Amino acid sequence: MPGLDYYKTSESSEVATAPSVAESVVEETNSTVSETSSPEIPKAGVYYNPRLDPKNFLEGPLSWDAATRLRQLLARPGIVIAPGICDGISARCALEAGFDCLYQSGAATTASRLGQPDVAIATLNDFVQSAQMVCSLSPTTPVIADADTGFGGTAMVARTVYQYARAGVAGMHIEDQVQTKRCGHLMGKQVVSREEFVTRIRAAVIARDSIPGGSNFVIIGRTDSAQVLGMEEAVARLKLAADAGADVCFIEGVKTADLLTSTVEALAPKPVLVNVISGGLTPSFTCKEAEALGAKIIIFSLVSCVAAVHGIRAAMQSLKKTGTDFSSAKGMDPKAFFEVMGLNDIVSLDAQAGGSAFDLV
């Protein structure tokens, strides 16, 4: 069924009496990016869905629904820390460490599933299949998933939302790079026009709002324009994304603490996500530092797959040199390994069901 129209102009509805920032932002930034910025976007009204107002998620126990739980975490005090996971093993390790939110990195997914770099090689199916597996490991733990550019036009953006939500993903971010995108911390990025970026966000929001039953799926607008058109344009784009219904704003490649602070202030009250990659464009903020600077979500995109490269490299080199995996195993036998993968839960389930398949393992 079609989604309800939450895009109201101030003339037609009281819920949008606050003036749209779209026109003021465009006017403010045209002087600094006039040679590269897109034409002004016609005022289409500010999105507002009263059901998704953050104040509705301030109180009560944390929900069993992952998307609702993510909204609760966003509405309440404290920064949301989401380590990047690349496969089932890294997801299990993150859960074992006690993280209450996970991040499915596009770069990590491309590397783990395809053995390829993050240059628009992985497809929607690759991302969804990975998400289905990760979300099944702990269905109540929110997973934020990279959705790249939405994998196509508005219909594909909507299809991405439907498939991610069905897989159990709590929220996704969609960016303004061209379809042949690349990792946000590589050089040579190209971005689409403001209009196309906002169209992607609006398509995602409409798709979310058309899910029967009222989905709490979180839409995160990401811009990669800071390195291409400058920080002012990046902030302007995120303000437009917020007007179009983005629940969270994600500015890629914030190079200093001062820029992060000013971005948070400019986008308030929308929560801001910061992406930390060691050796990348953004300083290696700690969780406490990012929280003090005003960020609401911090993701560490490559924490698992870079560690995996180091660990697996060392193990392979040791095996090649010594002819045994004894030292790299560090005393972990098969049963101990399987226990990290949830063996005890399976044994317990079988016993509760009256089975005897795992009486001895």
Enumerate the active-site residues.
103, 118, 146, 148, 173, 175, 183, 222, 252, 275
The 8-class DSSP code of residue 191 comes to B
3-state class of 267 per DSSP? Answer: helix
Burial class (CB in 10 A: 0-12, 13-18, 19+), 51: exposed
* β-pair type (272-275, 297-300): parallel
Q: Tokens at residue 332, please? A: 């972990």
Give the H or E element holding residue 46: strand 46-47
**Dihedral sign for Cα atoms in the order 253, 255, 256, 262:** negative
The 8-class DSSP code of residue 221 comes to E
Q: Tokens at residue 95, please? A: 């859960």
Peptide bond connecting 19 to the previous residue in cis, omega within 30 degrees of 0? no
Q: Which long-range contacts (CB under 8 A, 24 or more apart) does 62-68 make?
A: 63/140, 64/139, 64/140, 65/140, 65/216, 66/135, 66/139, 66/140, 66/141, 66/142, 66/143, 66/168, 66/169, 66/170, 67/142, 67/165, 67/169, 67/170, 67/171, 67/215, 67/216, 67/217, 67/218, 68/216
**Dihedral sign for Cα atoms in the order 204, 275, 90, 347:** negative
User: What CA–CA distances, in Å, run from 69 to 63, 84, 112, 149, 348?
Assistant: 5, 19, 28, 25, 27
Burial class (CB in 10 A: 0-12, 13-18, 19+), 198: buried
3-state class of 146 per DSSP? Answer: strand
List CB contacts of 118: < 8 A, sequence separation 6 or more.
106, 107, 110, 111, 182, 183, 186
